Chains A and B, each alone.
Chain A
Amino acid sequence: MKMKKFIAVLSVVSMMAVAAAGCGSSSDTSSAGDAAASDDSASSSEWDAASAITVVSREEGSGTRGAFTELFGVVDDDDNDITTLDAQVTNNTSVMMTTVSENEYAIGYISLGSLDESLVKAVSIDGAEATAENIENGSYTVSRPFNVAVKNDLDNPVATDFMAFIMSTEGQAVVSEEGYIPVSEVEAYAGEAPEGSCVVGGSSSISPLMEKLIEAYAEVNPNASIELQTTDSTTGMTSAIEGSYDIGMASRELNDEEAAELTGTVIATDGIAVIVNQNNPTDDLTVDQVKSIYIGDVTTWDAI
């Protein structure tokens, strides 16, 4: 009998817990509805500037993190990464965006090409908006190169021709169409359209752009087949050295070991957008403010 009672109490408690959770989420959706209906009043009343900032960062070693810490000076005198240990870490662009879009007090950073403005808000840095034009004219300074690398003694005609296509007017037109910053001073593609196949692989940041480039190349040279493999920068470089990829992709600079074996080419420049939640009233941050948030000197939004 005792056990029956216990089970009854347990089930009641769990049902109450479910009910409470249900209430919480339903009130949440109604307030979100209010915010959408009469935007400013509802969202600003919810916004509490004294709340702690949720700092979201990429993983140690990621090309995006390396470029971010370098460009914002989140490094000590010996160039060591000093991002606060309290920062949440993710290895995935979409988790980064979801986290920032779900958490009003979060701040993060992603590749400009992956930015989805319907989910999160990109803040201006030192007054310059994060756009391809501003990166090109130099007012938005937070950007990094997209590198592709081939072996010094590459003898695959398709890979050579494809590289020539990427670095041509046609190829660079694709780059700027996709929202990245093209390389200037290129000439029109004058390749001989050889027959054959080649394998391109590496950084997942460059992959979406490379996919479009391969599509465009297929139109000018239907004889060639190019296979794209998405892994990461280091795998891309290692596999290019080993010869399993003809062309490797890296969203960072090549390190010395890699540069000894490979010839790197910058095919585009990508901006890094600093993102916050859409309910966050902050529109503009300076480089120093972003730096102090990521070092951990500033921990609440009103202290900026």
Chain B
Amino acid sequence: MKSKAWTEKFMQGVFFVAACASVLAVALICIFLFANGIPAMREIGFIKFITGEIWRPGSDQFGILPMIVGSLYVTAGAVIFGVPIGILTSVFMAMYCPKQIYKPLKAATELLAGIPSVIYGFFGLVVVVPIIRQFGTALYKAGIVDNPGNGNSILTASLILGMMILPTIIGTTESAMRAVPSHYYEGSLALGATKERSIFRVIIPAAKSGVIAGIVLGIGRAIGETMAVIMIVGNQARLTSSILQGIRTLTGNIVIEMGYATGLHREALIATGVVLFVFILIINFSVALLKRGADHE
């Protein structure tokens, strides 16, 4: 009896240490980022750093507004392409899918998650970029846009990122829909609703928090994605108004220039990481708020 109590206590301690590891990792990353990034922000000037439109480290101009806007653009684009397709796919997989094709379909979406991002980037560079370039040229010739762009664009990055966040959204949405008690669905049918109406008016609202979690995980992946994006987005550090033009993201800015950066330039890149980190915090925080709102209803 006594020895059992001891092992339980011991194992409890082991679990506690394991739990601490992740908290410690987050804490260390926070300390590293802020300790290195804040001094650089102060030296450049916080307002100048966040709202500056010109990034020329060689001549001491560190404005990351184009990168902030760039990250928001490509992430929003990824959500526009990825979320509808992801949710409709999970509706199909959870409610309509015949048994024979469920397994290959599930395997395919899981494989999509396992493909390394550099492969997505290379696929984008060789296949999607030329298609978008032709598309842009066609629009330009038809007089719809002023500048045809060269294929490395916000649109291209949005398409590829939309593809990359699909497995995240499909996985969480499908399991959330499957977790809805079957009597919800049966009750809806019994009241005379059609199958489609039951799915979109009963099941999905009931699975709302899972769906939102999936979307947010997808946004997190999109905003943090680096390798695939830098290969296809053009990486121009300036603002643009056309989705056929390229732009640079926060992650891209760090990766592209970290290798050779020294002194204040390097610190400015770490400060870029701080801004990215704050973005992720804001996203997580707003999800928590959204979820709380949903629970209160």
Residues of B with C-beta under 8 A to A24: 131, 134
Residues of B with C-beta under 8 A to A4: 196
The stretch of A54-62, A163-171, A259-267 in contact with B is A54-62
Closest to A232 in B: B259
Asked if A60 and B147 make an inter-chain contact with CB atoms under 8 angstroms apart, the answer reads no
Residues of B with C-beta under 8 A to A193: none
Asked if A103 CB lies within 8 Å of chain B CBs, one says: yes
Residues of A with C-beta under 8 A to B104: none
Least distance between B288 CB and chain A CB atoms (Å): 32
Asked if B58 CB lies within 8 Å of chain A CBs, one says: yes
Closest to B129 in A: A102
Asked if B134 and A95 make an inter-chain contact with CB atoms under 8 angstroms apart, the answer reads no
Least distance between B249 CB and chain A CB atoms (Å): 12
The stretch of B214-222, B228-236, B277-285 in contact with A is B228-236
Asked if B196 and A1 make an inter-chain contact with CB atoms under 8 angstroms apart, the answer reads yes
Asked if A102 and B125 make an inter-chain contact with CB atoms under 8 angstroms apart, the answer reads yes
Asked if B48 CB lies within 8 Å of chain A CBs, one says: no
Residues of B with C-beta under 8 A to A89: 234-237, 248, 256
Closest to A81 in B: B58
Q: Contact mask B118-146 → A, CB, 8 Å, 1/0? A: 00000001100111011000000000000
What is the size, in residues, of chain B's interface with A at 8 Å between Cβ atoms? 40
Asked if A85 CB lies within 8 Å of chain B CBs, one says: yes
Give the docked Cα–Cα distance between A91 and B257 (Å): 8
Residues of A with C-beta under 8 A to B248: 89
Asked if B59 and A61 make an inter-chain contact with CB atoms under 8 angstroms apart, the answer reads no
What is the size, in residues, of chain A's interface with B at 8 Å between Cβ atoms? 43
Least distance between A294 CB and chain B CB atoms (Å): 13
Asked if B255 CB lies within 8 Å of chain A CBs, one says: yes
Q: Contact mask A56-94 → B, CB, 8 Å, 1/0? A: 000111110000000000001010110001111111100
Residues of B with C-beta under 8 A to A7: 88
Asked if A233 CB lies within 8 Å of chain B CBs, one says: yes
Asked if A61 and B151 make an inter-chain contact with CB atoms under 8 angstroms apart, the answer reads no
Residues of A with C-beta under 8 A to B197: 3
Asked if B200 CB lies within 8 Å of chain A CBs, one says: yes
Residue contacts A-B, CB under 8 angstroms, 29 given? A2-B196, A3-B199, A21-B131, A52-B148, A59-B257, A60-B58, A60-B265, A61-B57, A61-B58, A61-B259, A63-B260, A80-B58, A81-B59, A86-B238, A87-B236, A89-B234, A89-B235, A89-B236, A89-B256, A91-B255, A91-B257, A92-B231, A102-B126, A102-B129, A102-B151, A232-B259, A234-B262, A255-B262, A257-B262
B interface residue numbers (CB < 8 A to A)? 54, 56-59, 88, 125-126, 129-131, 133-134, 147-148, 150-152, 194, 196-197, 199-200, 230-231, 234-238, 246, 248, 255-257, 259-262, 265
